[in-house]
């Protein structure tokens, strides 16, 4: 990164600091708020990851970052966010076996793609476990909160399958066709972000289902992270802005639940 390219990371750091201050106030008001405590861990981990990444890029521009502290911080962030959702789930009170199984397959496919792109087996596999933990509990939470209709579940599944397919095809076609598949991937990623942003905003306006607000805010974050891992250049930075927005919305959803 250089120049204006530092802006998304700097904005995210500012938002993370603001959110962390808000979460700490929630914890001070209720020390038994386990969701707020796990969320605070996630925000601190994300903040450490961003600061390390920014410092490394300033000090060593144009060099590839090795396996480093920011990766461990990202794993901690994913696991902590998964713990937030896990603490909000009522003992697997819904049948989400299909959704959980699909989330595992999706993560495994992503890990295979990451390894193919980077060749970093250990790093990518551990990241897959951490992100998989978040997605596993996100699927249960989405089902339990009834955040998505049957049609929306089908669209989400189709979009995920299409993402894996288009990315995989780039390894087996010539450069011009690979660029076309990359464009299709980008359109699906951006469409998903727009969809979840709209869903989150509409759910806040309804103000009827606090659990659905949490589910959709976390789903937006998960989609934006997937988008960042699957993209570069403009779509990557757009997705980073979206992930920043989703972090704030996750905080707002948890805060709104506490305040009733």
In terms of C-beta distances under 8 Å and separation of at least 24 residues, what long-range contacts does 249-252 make, across chains too?
249/200, 249/204, 249/217, 249/220, 250/39, 250/81, 250/214, 250/217, 250/218, 250/221, 251/19, 251/22, 251/23, 251/39, 252/204, 252/213, 252/217
The confidence score (pLDDT) of residue 57 equals 77
- Of 20, 9, 1, 156, nearest to 64 (Cα)? 1
pLDDT digits (tens, 9 = 90+) for 214-260: 999 999 999 999 999 999 889 999 999 999 999 999 999 999 887 76
Q: Report the C-alpha gap between 170 and 187 in whole angstroms.
A: 15
- Of the chain, the end-to-end C-alpha distance in Å amounts to 42
pLDDT reading at 1 higher than 50: no
The confidence score (pLDDT) of residue 2 equals 53
Give residue 208's pLDDT band: very low, low, confident or very high (50, 70, 90).
Answer: confident
The confidence score (pLDDT) of residue 136 equals 95
Report percent pLDDT > 70 for the chain. 94
Say what the pTM is.
0.94
pLDDT digits (tens, 9 = 90+) for 23-70: 999 999 988 889 999 999 999 999 999 998 888 877 776 666 555 678
């Amino acid at each position: 990164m250089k120049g204006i390219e530092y802006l998304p990371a700097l904005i995210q750091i500012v938002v993370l600091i603001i959110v962390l201050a808000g979460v700490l106030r929630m914890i001070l008001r209720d020390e038994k708020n386990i969701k707020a405590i796990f969320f605070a861990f996630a925000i601190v981990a994300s903040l450490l990851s961003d600061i390390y990444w920014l410092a490394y890029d300033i000090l060593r521009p144009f060099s590839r970052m090795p396996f480093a502290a920011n990766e461990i911080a990202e794993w901690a962030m994913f696991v902590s966010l998964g713990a937030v959702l896990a603490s909000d789930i009522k003992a697997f009170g819904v049948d989400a076996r299909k959704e959980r199984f699909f989330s595992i397959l999706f993560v495994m496919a992503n890990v295979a793609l990451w390894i193919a792109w980077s060749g970093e087996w250990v790093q990518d596999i551990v990241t897959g476990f951490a992100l998989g933990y978040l997605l596993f509990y996100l699927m249960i939470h989405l089902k339990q909160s009834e955040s998505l209709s049957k049609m929306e579940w089908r669209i989400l599944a189709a979009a995920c399958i299409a993402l894996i397919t288009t990315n995989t095809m780039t390894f087996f076609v010539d450069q011009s066709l690979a660029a076309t598949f990359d464009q299709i991937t980008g359109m699906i990623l951006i469409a998903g972000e727009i969809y979840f942003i709209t869903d989150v905003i509409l759910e806040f306006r309804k103000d009827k289902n606090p659990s659905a607000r949490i589910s959709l805010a976390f789903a937006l974050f998960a989609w934006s992270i997937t988008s960042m891992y699957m993209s570069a250049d403009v779509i990557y930075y757009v997705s980073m802005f979206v992930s920043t927005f989703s972090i704030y919305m996750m905080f707002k959803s948890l805060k709104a639940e506490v305040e009733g």
